Amino acid sequence: MRISSDDDVTFGLTALGALDSRLASIIAIAGPVPLRRSEPGFSGLAAIIVSQMISKASAAAIWNRMLLRLGKVEAQAFLALGDEDCRAIGLSGAKIKALRGSAVAAETGVLDLEAICDMEPGAAISALSALPGIGRWTAEVYLVFCAGHRDVFPVGDIALQSAVAHALHLPARPSARTLEAISVAWSPWRSVAARLFWAYYASCMRRDATPVMT
């Protein structure tokens, strides 16, 4: 099953409430939990790379400049841009390298970014992480929002760590390893749990709910 509609999110939230009674009040506080799906492929991965370690507003500004320059963010079109073009858009050297590596992989067929959606999460994360500039966080966020996997929880995400700590009254923000152990209780609906805690972060903690990696 893929998370591909608002009904899927609603179904997952109901299942999560049955799996962990602590989540009932969190679901009530969080309010609407958005689907936030993107099409799989280079454009979806590129948007995630652009958003790495910057604010939602900054990522949106860079993405809009890319759209203005390219019309549509596709691998072949991006590879035609020079370094100066990329820097004018607002991309850092590291992101230029990551985007080019992903574009080359997509264009040459080294990695099929659509077919990877049908792989098991562990194998898909390993395949994506083999690309330059792609770590576990980027791979997991791609699987959540582009592939629609239902059981992926990006444990390195600062917003998720903070939201879980606040919602579950933990003494400190959990490490990725600790959050991994906590999230096991929400399987096989961890991708919906991630959406829930991002929504909680935005609603209760009044902050930007864009995924932010450690």
All domains of the chain in start order, with CATH: 9-35+151-204 (1.10.1670.40), 42-147 (1.10.340.30)
Instruction: Give the lowest-confidence range in 92-101, 150-159, 205-214.
Output: 205-214
For the segment 144-170, the average pLDDT, to the nearest whole number, is: 97
State yes or no: pLDDT of 51 exceeds 50.
yes
Residues 116-127 have pLDDT tens digits of: 999 999 999 999
CA 151 to chain CA centroid, Å, is: 13
Beta bridge partners of 157: 213
Q: What is the pTM of this model?
A: 0.92
Query: What DSSP designation does 33 have?
Result: -
State yes or no: pLDDT of 100 exceeds 60.
yes
For the segment 63-90, the average pLDDT, to the nearest whole number, is: 97
pLDDT averaged over the chain?
Answer: 94
Radius of gyration of the chain (CA): 17
204 confidence band (pLDDT: 50, 70, 90): confident
Q: Express as a percent the part of the chain with pLDDT over 70.
A: 96
Cα-based angle 24, 25, 27 (whole degrees, multiple of 5): 65
214 confidence band (pLDDT: 50, 70, 90): very low
State yes or no: pLDDT of 154 exceeds 80.
yes
Beta bridge partners of 213: 157
Between CA 37 and CA 34 the distance in angstroms is 9
Residue type, 197: F
Cα-based angle 30, 33, 38 (whole degrees, multiple of 5): 145
Q: What phi, psi does 54 have (nearest 5°)? A: -135, 165
55 confidence band (pLDDT: 50, 70, 90): confident
